[in-house]
Amino acid sequence: AQTVTQSQPEMSVQEAETVTLSCTYDTSESDYYLFWYKQPPSRQMILVIRQEAYKQQNATENRFSVNFQKAAKSFSLKISDSQLGDAAMYFCAYRSGDTGTASKLTFGTGTRLQVTL
């Protein structure tokens, strides 16, 4: 079974600074997807970024980028120019590349990000 580990329960960053959230995973599969989701106080889950394992290039979405190290099974999220609205719980998630429609997300335990002035 796949596991996702987020070793940082809480992180803090000053506004306009950069912060990196860590995530490691364990799998024996070669085809899979990795995700970062944001859950603000409203509790609405929002997809931040997605990475396909077969792609060597790290995914980027505006101020959000990942450092995907497939051999090390590491998938960290970098948030640049942090904003107050980035304060939220961040979940790393894994999904098998199995094309079966039942393939499901496995979530990490989450990292709570505080953004200070």
Residues that bind another protein (CB under 8 A): 37, 42-47, 50, 91, 95, 99, 101-105, 107-110, 112
110, 37 Cβ separation under 8 angstroms: no
Gap between the Cα atoms of 42 and 77, Å rounded: 21
Cα-only R_g, the chain = 14
- Classify the phi-psi angles of 79: left when phi > 0, otherwise alpha if psi is within -120 to 50, otherwise beta: beta
Query: Residue 55 Cβ, how far from another protein at the closest point, in Å?
Result: 16
Query: Residue 75 Cβ, how far from another protein at the closest point, in Å?
Result: 16
Query: Residue 28 Cβ, how far from another protein at the closest point, in Å?
Result: 20
Q: Which is closer to another protein, CB of 42 or CB of 62?
A: 42
Q: Which is closer to another protein, CB of 10 or CB of 81?
A: 10
Q: Which is closer to another protein, CB of 82 or CB of 111?
A: 111
Q: Which is closer to another protein, CB of 28 or CB of 99?
A: 99
Gap between the Cα atoms of 106 and 42, Å rounded: 22
Query: Residue 8 Cβ, how far from another protein at the closest point, in Å?
Result: 14
Closest CA to 73 of 92, 47, 90, 89: 92
